[in-house]
Amino acid sequence: MSMVSLTIDGKMVSVPEGKTILEAAQQTGIDIPTLCFHKRLPPIGSCNMCIVEIKGRPGPVTSCNTPVEEGLDVATQSDALHAQRVINLKKILLHHALDCPVCDRAGECDLQNIVYKFGITDVAFEPRAQKRDDAYATSLIRYWPERCILCRRCVTACQSIKGIGAIDIIGEGDEARLVPVAADKCKSCGECLSVCPTGALTENLSRRKGRPWMGKRVKTTCGYCGCGCQLELSALENRVIGVHTETDDGVNQGSLCVKGRFGYEFIGDENRLKTPLIKENGQFREASWEEALDYTAKRLSAIKDQFGPDSIAGLTSARCTNEENFLFQKFMRAVIGTNSVDHCARL
């Protein structure tokens, strides 16, 4: 692999050919502010926050989509760069209400973090003359158009990660807006929501909300199918209120399907059975676990003795954990003695 050497803030850096200046800086531990950049997405270059100066070139360039070249001398910090970044950030905030106290994403919002970092407090919010509509929304995803900074992360994720292309940004200037261009293709997978740097796309499902720092996050494996996607359940008061992913974790690398990201409300549903039931004379009655297990063991043994193990089949559920499903199939094969066991990931 061909390597390229360049200087960033006085430090010599060697990176593989094809890398960008931003990637080279990150490799060296040099922080360049970004908003539209996401490591799982191809460079977008829409926010203009990652601008840097290159010696011998007339003006700043966006580092996220500028490839490294041999011998470049790059400066990531200067008074001029700071002033321009402040201007660029204020342009983004011109129509963006800083309504952080009521926004679902307060506390884990990239825009909120960068505004705090630059100490911006004097932006006069100007409501748009023509309000954007909230046409892009599903039963699981809510779109807050006035919080959208048109960074194109969601559009790029839908196109490049999922290969769907259900949404796009149309129009220019104040007329620009996010719209569904192929609504019938949308799978409500939440990929767009997961990469959104603001509160423009939020979950439209959980009735129990809490600030990010209030919930306890528990790492687990999605049980809906055999892929083994990694995720984190956010729990508040012993109830799951959301699902999060880490972009470097597991086979899914931060991606989930609609069931993995949004299929969690059943866990705390009030209609879930909490006590075993035994049917007698066509009616169910509550029973203790000891009675239910003894009854089940006796019936299974009697059926196996009379008709053989293959007269019994087992069906387990995608709403169980992988560990529970493993134990069930082990029970069917090792204890009952049959391979007639199945699992349906479609619930």
pLDDT in tens, the chain (347 residues): 799 999 999 999 999 999 999 999 999 999 999 999 999 999 999 999 999 999 999 999 999 999 999 999 999 999 999 999 999 999 998 888 777 888 888 888 999 999 999 998 877 777 776 777 777 778 899 888 888 999 999 999 999 999 999 999 988 877 888 889 988 899 999 999 999 999 999 888 765 567 767 789 999 988 888 788 999 999 988 888 889 998 888 899 999 999 999 998 888 888 989 999 999 999 999 999 999 999 999 999 999 999 999 999 999 987 787 788 899 999 999 999 999 999 876 65
* C-alpha–C-alpha distance, residues 241 and 264, integer Å: 8
Can you tell me the distance from the alpha carbon of 51 to that of 84, in angstroms, rounded to the nearest whole number? Answer: 9
Instruction: Write down the domain spans for the chain.
Output: 3-93, 215-268, 273-305, 308-347
Q: Which CATH architecture has domain 215-268?
A: Single Sheet (2.20)
Neighbours of 7 (CB within 10 A): 14
Q: What is the pTM of this model?
A: 0.82
**For domain 3-93, which CATH number applies: 3.30.565.10, 3.10.20.740, 3.40.50.300, 3.40.50.720?**
3.10.20.740
Closest CA to 256 of 197, 208, 211, 203: 203
Our CA dihedral for 335, 336, 339, 345, rounded to 10 degrees, sits at -90
Strand-pair category, 73-75 with 3-8? parallel
Q: For residue 336, with 0-12 CB atoms within 10 Å meaning exposed, 13-18 middle and 19 or more buried, which class applies?
A: buried
Measured CA distances, 241 to 204, 247, 260 (Å): 11, 20, 13
71: left (phi over 0), alpha (psi -120 to 50) or beta: left
Which residues on neighbouring strands pair with residue 74, listed in sequence order?
A: 8, 54
